[in-house]
Structure 1
Amino acid sequence: MSQVDLESISLLEIPKISDPDGRGNLSVIEKDVLPFTIKRVYYLYDVPSDSSRGGHAHKELKQFIIALSGSFDVVLDNGSARRSFTLNRPNKGLLIPSGVWRELENFSAGSVCLSLVSDYYNEDDYIRDYNEFRSSK
């Protein structure tokens, strides 16, 4: 597995339509927003602030993460460097390529983390041991 340049990863803007009458905003994710077809959608909620989620990498799967409500940090690791992103806007998301270790932490009260992913659940695609992940680089 080749090493991903963490500097090439950034937050992506999700198109936002503001209501002219001040009734709120609407964001839409269609085929031109993500570089993959969405095959699975899941969300995390009621995560205690002192808990972390993730703690794995994927061999093939790509993931787009959005903070629908509240905030949390996503820490990415390519085996030799780490980079952290704070997600706190529902119109910005983080596209995580395959081959990157991810950990989600510092959840605020009431936060909701939405994940849009490129494939169906497949346990064989996960690398859950950090030492194994590092040795694959």
Structure 2
Amino acid sequence: MLVMRYALCLVVLMLAACNTPSPGFRGIDPVRVKVGPSVFDVRVQDGQAEALRINSDYAPRMGPIGPRATLAIEQVSGCTVRRLGGDQAMIRASLNCGKVDAPPPVPPSYSCAVFTRPADGADGARIEEIVCDPV
């Protein structure tokens, strides 16, 4: 019975941490952005950004998620992503905002679509283009 209680507590703690920002971003309201099949809660502060992927999209590695997270962070912050790190669930970015003191205000969310078209060159080569509009 004691083991069952510990297991239940562990499950509750794991579920509570699913959409929790890191300590440096606590207290900042997230902006929800959808890029293709991925949904991110993006928080920006002092030249840094954090994007939490909140959908259940299968992503065993950062490869397909990185470009989507970069786009989401750039849309919310109004800055260029200099460096991206983290994993496929929590992405951290250093921003290059130029001489702008504060990021511009943004709409609460974006609707994005991924368009794929064939590319010249190798067989099966494709080009993906992500187009986003404020909602």
TM-score, normalised via structure 2 length: 0.32
Whichever of the two has the greater Rg, that structure is 2
Higher relative contact order (CA 8 A, sep 6+): 1
Comparing both structures, which one devotes a greater share of its residues to helix?
2
